[in-house]
Amino acid sequence: MTIAHTLGALSVMTGALLAAQAAQAQDNTFINPDWANSAWYLGAGVGQSRATIDEPRLRASLAANGETVTGFTKDQRDTGYKLFVGRQLNQYFAVEGGYFDLGKFDFKSTTSGNGVLNGQAAFRGVNLDLLGQLPLSQRLSLLGRVGMHYTKTNTEFSGNRLLGSTNTHASERKLNAKLGLGLEYKFSEALALRGEVERYRLNDAVGNRGDADLYSVSLVYKLGRPASATPAYQPAPEVAPVVAMPAPVIVAAPAPVPVAEKVSFASEALFDFDQSTLKPQGKAALDQLLGQLSGMDLEVIVTVGHTDAVGSDAYNQKLSQRRAEAVKAYLVAQGVETSRVYTEGKGETQPVADNTSAAGRAKNRRVTVEVVGTRKVAR
């Protein structure tokens, strides 16, 4: 296969993946959490395999035996597939092992005097690769791989011009090198799509060496994504009550106690990735908050959305506002007067931790709910 063909295939893959990225251009808040950089993953791919059948050598061999080739056809393409499992070592490297089947490749030749020589070769084996991943954006990465593969080759010949060979079936197992280049697009922290070109160095079991290429599209799924837990309700300390001093001869009834409570919820606990629809766990957390407000005369509730610094300022601002509005909508649905609930989106403007670490970004992705009201005092 020529370099031009290889680069052309990669250009097609790049265009397809960039088109997918453009379709989600509004979504540039993808987060690559720490667990994903050390996770195990599974994958499967399918595509077209191509091998080179050495037609000049076969023609020369037939001519050396006094044959004149009158026809020669070859099939150098087939469907190949692979199954693999890997482990992320960090954000940039992974180790990957798998099983592959490159399919079958054959030729048919005819010679003068009604001579026929047909052949077929099939390749399948296992591989172990080191995979490098260079991020081009939050979701798109350039892939490069180098490794070894242990392949079984089965070669069969048939016809009445066997070139003096009595071995019509040959089988060989060899350890050879392989290389690969491709692109990966992450749909989420756990699911990704890959487009790759891999070159396998092969033996054809009859003394010849060559290359086979596999152009594949694969789905990759990372294991071990932690489940979101319902956040614990942690109200802020109550404001100290302000009580007027009673007149000397009049005993005043206890005044209502003014209260201001503020609670912060992690965005992952309330919403799915890049979504503004409350999850069941998020609704349960807000229900818990409403239960704590029982017996309070509400004056106002303020919901404020916050994001980390990943992504554009404009997108983060809109996402934080949508999430604050979603919290308000749920509180109103549970009986809170809509006129008492106010929303605000702060985007990435008020971080509470360092945005350069995954742990810090997680703290910055939050929704705060502040409640102002008075608690009734028992007589």
Q: Cα separations (Å) of 369 from 220, 306, 372?
A: 38, 11, 10
Task: Pull the structure tokens for residue 65.
Answer: 């035996």
Whose CA is closest to 257, among 127, 372, 101, 116?
372
pLDDT in tens, the chain (379 residues): 444 554 454 454 555 545 444 444 444 445 667 788 899 999 999 999 998 877 787 777 777 777 788 888 888 899 999 999 999 999 899 999 999 999 998 888 888 878 888 888 899 999 999 999 999 887 899 999 999 999 998 888 888 877 555 567 888 899 999 999 999 999 988 899 999 999 999 877 666 678 899 999 999 999 987 764 444 445 545 545 545 555 555 555 555 556 667 777 777 778 776 777 888 888 888 888 888 777 777 788 888 989 888 878 888 888 889 888 988 898 888 888 888 888 999 888 888 888 888 888 888 888 888 888 777 655 5
Whose CA is closest to 366, among 326, 307, 319, 295?
307
Q: How far apart are CA 178 and CA 173, in angstroms?
A: 15
Q: How far apart are CA 187 and CA 20, in angstroms?
A: 9
Task: Pull the structure tokens for residue 86.
Answer: 């890997």
Whose CA is closest to 88, among 38, 133, 41, 131?
38
Q: How far apart are CA 153 and CA 254, in angstroms?
A: 92
Whose CA is closest to 208, among 34, 61, 46?
61
CB 108 within 8 Å of CB 159: no
Beta strands at 341-347 and 296-306: parallel, antiparallel or unpaired: parallel
List % helix, strand, coil for the chain (3-state, nearest 5): 20, 45, 30
Burial class (CB in 10 A: 0-12, 13-18, 19+), 57: exposed
Q: How many CB atoms lie within 10 A of CB 263?
A: 20
Q: How far apart are CA 169 and CA 93, in angstroms?
A: 41
